[in-house]
Amino acid sequence: MVYMYNIIQKLFPITRSLSGNGNRETLNYLKENYLCELNIKEYSIKDNTETFDWTTPYEWNITEAYIEDENRNRIIDFKNNNLHILGYSEPVNITIPFSELDKHLYSLESDIDAVPYTTSYYKKRWGFCITHRQREELRKNPDKLYHIVIDSSYNKNGSITYGELIINGLSDEEILISTYICHPSMANDNLSGIAAAVAAAKYIYSLYERKYTYRIIFIPETIGALIYLKENIDHLKKYVKAGFVLSCIGDDGDYSCVHTPYNNTYTDRIVTHVLKYITDNPKEYSFLERGSDERQFCAPLVNLPVCTLSRTKFGKFKEYHTSNDNLNFVTAAGIGGGINYICQCINILENNEYYKIKTVGEPQLGKYGLYPTISQKGSADFTRNMTNIIAYLNGSNSILDIAEIINIPFNNALDIIKQLDNSHLIQKA
Ligand code: ZN
């Protein structure tokens, strides 16, 4: 799983946004190094000025942005950290006193050494994000002049870029995995989601046989989800059986989820089950605490069974949307845990079947070598679990149903089912 951490390191410096060359570079990197079947798509802005109720933003690119003093010392340079630029800033080239410049600065009084991540997608303005400590220092000389340069462009004939990977399975029914690619240099939000989605794809490819078809998408948050829905909503509504948004899934904190609006879908059940055994302290948030693309996928007229999976949920860690969400905040162990989380959900989806016991009355397990002839620590538990599973194998309970009834992890129940199957004691219902 170390290579997943390498993806985060590699993609960290790239300037991403809702659109632009950084997003293309990010997707090309994934395609060239990990997902050769990734389809990189361009959604033309000129042909789609409206996306449902939203105005599609122009494609934005930026090559340079800095603030220099009268001695041409660059006191802020976007090349050192792309969080310094207000996302979607308009181009400028002016010299103004600090008192004017101050109106275009964004900083955090609550964390004076962090650079905040700030954007202005839908109102044209320009600005820089700096530490509050630096801003306070500059405020001591309000009349000092600064030269401001932002070399950015808007292209109304451009496009919004996203990635789509379809991995076919035996069934037309689909599992949707969605993550976003629109944040610049921050590791947990959102590079961890990209790394976990790549790892999930690798895991899905590694399965000997796939029950479901998988649709893995890399989209800019919100507008990208709306674009994807605009192009695919009928298909998604017809075929998506379960879905996951991956967000902030690489830190060492909690394991958490955001449930669907009524917490009543197959996805909700699977996520709750996985969380119960992956951590002693699962955090299950209701849809009232939504914030990522579950907002679009679970909206009333869309209504897909999509939960969001996180380690520490967006907004619940102090590094969130600042320069402190860096390569130290996400760890190899943290992202490894996040990958395990999504892969366990996939494992349940792939293996959750209905079986029926063949014998009338209880089977005589000893005949099949399934009953220990010697009593030792643990063997009683195993036998108890096996007889309990048999007691519910009536053909209308799935393995997940039974694991929940008898209160054991899905994988333990699956192991026992495999042994019963090898002994020809059960059949698929
Ligand atoms: Zn974010």
Question: How many Å lie between the centroid of ligand 1 and the Cα of residue 184?
Answer: 10
Name the helix (H) or strand (E) containing 216.
strand 213-219
Answer whether residue 359 shows pLDDT above 70: yes
- The answer to whether the CB of 133 falls within 8 A of the CB of 176 is no
Q: Tell me, in angstroms, the distance from the centre of ligand 1 to residue 42's CA.
A: 22
C-alpha 189 to ligand 1 mean position (Å): 5
Q: Which of 60, 6, 16 is nearest to 184 (CA)?
A: 16
Percentage of the residues of the chain whose pLDDT score is greater than 90: 96
Q: 109: phi > 0 → left, psi -120 to 50 → alpha, else beta; which? A: alpha
Task: Report CA(428)–ligand 1 centroid distance (Å).
Answer: 44
pLDDT higher than threshold 90 for residue 40: yes
Ligand 1 center to 386 CA (angstroms):
45
Q: How far is CA 42 from CA 21, 216, 265, in A?
A: 12, 16, 32
Residue 1 pLDDT: 61
Band of residue 382 on the pLDDT scale cut at 50, 70, 90: confident
Residue 247 CA, ligand 1 centroid: distance in Å: 8
Could you report the per-residue pLDDT of 390-426, keeping only the tens digit for each?
Answer: 999 999 999 999 999 999 999 999 999 999 999 999 9
Ligand 1 mean position, distance from CA 420 (Å): 47
Domains of the chain and any CATH numbers: 2-56+169-351 (3.40.630.10), 59-155 (3.50.30.90), 354-428 (1.10.10)
- 291 C-alpha to ligand 1 centroid (Å): 9
CA of 117 to the centre of ligand 1 (A): 9
CA 37 to centroid of ligand 1, rounded, Å: 27
377 pLDDT band (50/70/90 cuts)?
Answer: confident
Measure 56 CA to ligand 1 centroid, in angstroms: 19
Asked whether 358 and 429 are in contact (CB, 8 A), the reply is no
The secondary structure of 308-325 as a DSSP string is: EEESSPTTSSTTTTBTTS
Task: Quote the ligand 1 centre to 413 CA distance (angstroms).
Answer: 38
In whole angstroms, what is the distance from residue 387 CA to residue 290 CA? 41
**Average pLDDT for 326-348:** 97
Distance between CA atoms of residues 418 and 375, nearest Å: 22
CA of 221 to the centre of ligand 1 (A): 8
Task: Note the pLDDT of residue 160.
Answer: 98
Distance in Å, CA 314 to ligand 1 centroid: 7
Average pLDDT over residues 49-56: 97
100 close to 121: Cβ distance less than 8 angstroms: no
> Is this prediction's pTM over 0.85?
yes
Q: Residue 161 above 80 pLDDT? A: yes
Q: Are strands 105-106 and 128-129 parallel, antiparallel or unpaired?
A: parallel
CA-CA distance, 72 to 95, in Å (whole number)?
Answer: 12
Contact 291, 233 (CB under 8 A): no
- For residue 417, the CA-to-ligand 1 centroid distance in Å is 42
Evaluate whether 112 touches 135 at the Cβ level (below 8 Å): no
Of 363, 251, 369, which Cα lies nearest the Cα of 314?
251
| Percent residues over pLDDT 70 in the chain | 100
- pLDDT tens sequence across 200-257: 999 999 999 999 999 999 999 999 999 999 999 999 999 999 999 999 999 999 999 9
- For ion ligand 1, residues whose CB falls within 5 Å: 189
- Over the chain, what is the mean pLDDT? 97
Say how many Å lie between the CA of residue 153 and the centre of ligand 1: 23
Expressed in angstroms and rounded, the spacing between residue 176 Cα and the centre of ligand 1 is: 20
Q: Is the pLDDT of residue 2 over 90?
A: no
pLDDT value at 379 more than 90: no
Q: Residue 376: which pLDDT band, with cuts at 50, 70 and 90?
A: confident
Distance of alpha carbon 330 from alpha carbon 126, whole angstroms:
30
- Span from the CA of 88 to the centroid of ligand 1 (angstroms): 15
Report pLDDT for 356. 98
